Amino acid sequence: MNSGHFFLAIIKRDLLLAWQQRGDLLVGVVFFILVACLFPLAIGPEPKLLARIGPGVLWVAVILANLLALPRLFASDWQDGSLEQLLLTAAPTSVMVAGKIIAHWLTTGIPLTLIAPLLGIQYGLESDTLLMLMASLLLGTPTLSALGSIGAALTIGVRQGEMLLALLILPLYAPVLIFGSGAVAAVAGGLSGMAELSLLAAILCGTLFLAPWLAAIAVRLAVE
């Protein structure tokens, strides 16, 4: 089996596993909706204010929902020993990690991106702003999955790994959050937002290049 086939097989396997436990997937989406609903309760339902904070709140909620789903990336495979088996295959570990990142993005990033416009409407965002929200999430969420895979791999089987994961990963998420919500806020303010979008794309390219390799080192460490 060559690396390409292995890559696709990993994606297929993880998607299948995710489908068998689709309740877990729903938890992330419900969490996202709940966080987004708490803000109007806490701050007050004034439409102007909600339209202003909407992009930032939705982006933060996406990041938190993503963080919630990260431990799933390796933990269950590590617990039942299949991670070890995956490392024994001839294909490079980074290919395996890349496949898992893609599967993770398809199962968390994509649902969140699809649900975000609905919440955006509730926050009173205009249609072009909603479009930019989706575009920025489409470019930003794969970066979150890729960066997150490094953190998830580093904390496999570590004491209080999930708390630690938040401490490790949230500072690294900051640039994505800044440019992602910045793009949406720019459109809401009448600018084009393309500059922020390009920066998001650049970050995505850099992360996709480096993350599988670094996460592979971390995965091998955890299993050795």
Partner 1 sequence: MKPSHNGPRWLNLFSFASPMQFYPLAGRLIPLFMTTALLFCAVGLWLGFAIAPGEAQQGEGYRIIFLHVPTSWMAMFIYIVMAFWSVMHLALRTRLSAMMAQALAPTGALMAFLSLLTGALWGKPMWGTWWVWDARLTSMLLLFFLYLGFIALTRSIDEPDRADKAGSVLAIVGVFNVPVIYFSVKWWNTLHQGASISMENGSSMASTMLIAMLVMSLAAWMHSIAACLSRVRTLILQREGHTRWVKERIAQGEK
Smaller CB distance to partner 1: residue 114 or 158? 158
Q: Where are the alpha helices (DSSP H) in the chain?
A: 3-20, 22-43, 47-69, 75-79, 82-88, 93-104, 110-122, 127-154, 161-188, 194-223
Q: Give, as one character, the DSSP assignment of residue 91.
A: S
Q: Does 170 bind partner 1 (CB under 8 A)?
A: yes
Options 58, 73, 150, 200; binder of partner 1; rule CB under 8 A = 150
Q: How would you class 54 by CB atoms within 10 Å of its CB: exposed for 0-12, middle for 13-18, buried for 19 or more?
A: buried
**Window contacting partner 1 (CB under 8 A); options: 33-41, 90-98, 101-109, 164-172:** 164-172
Instruction: Please choose, from the candidates 187, 82, 202, 102, the residue with its C-alpha nearest in 3D space to the C-alpha of residue 149.
Output: 102
Least separation in angstroms between CB 121 and partner 1 = 28
Options 69, 96, 112, 218; binder of partner 1; rule CB under 8 A = 218
Widest pairwise Cα distance in the chain: 58
Dist. CA 222–CA 155, nearest whole Å = 8
Least separation in angstroms between CB 221 and partner 1 = 5
Dist. CA 79–CA 121, nearest whole Å = 41
**Window contacting partner 1 (CB under 8 A); options: 2-10, 26-34, 59-67, 153-161:** 153-161
**Window contacting partner 1 (CB under 8 A); options: 38-46, 70-78, 81-89, 210-218:** 210-218
Tokens of 128: 């072009």
Least separation in angstroms between CB 217 and partner 1 = 6
User: Cβ distance 14 to 99 under 8 Å?
Assistant: yes
Q: Does 175 bind partner 1 (CB under 8 A)?
A: yes
Smaller CB distance to partner 1: residue 47 or 206? 206
**Window contacting partner 1 (CB under 8 A); options: 4-12, 53-61, 74-82, 211-219:** 211-219
CA dihedral 85, 86, 91, 93 (to 10 degrees): -120
Least separation in angstroms between CB 13 and partner 1 = 25
Residues that bind partner 1 (CB under 8 A): 147, 150, 154-155, 158-160, 164, 167-168, 170-172, 174-175, 206, 210, 214, 217-218, 221-222, 224
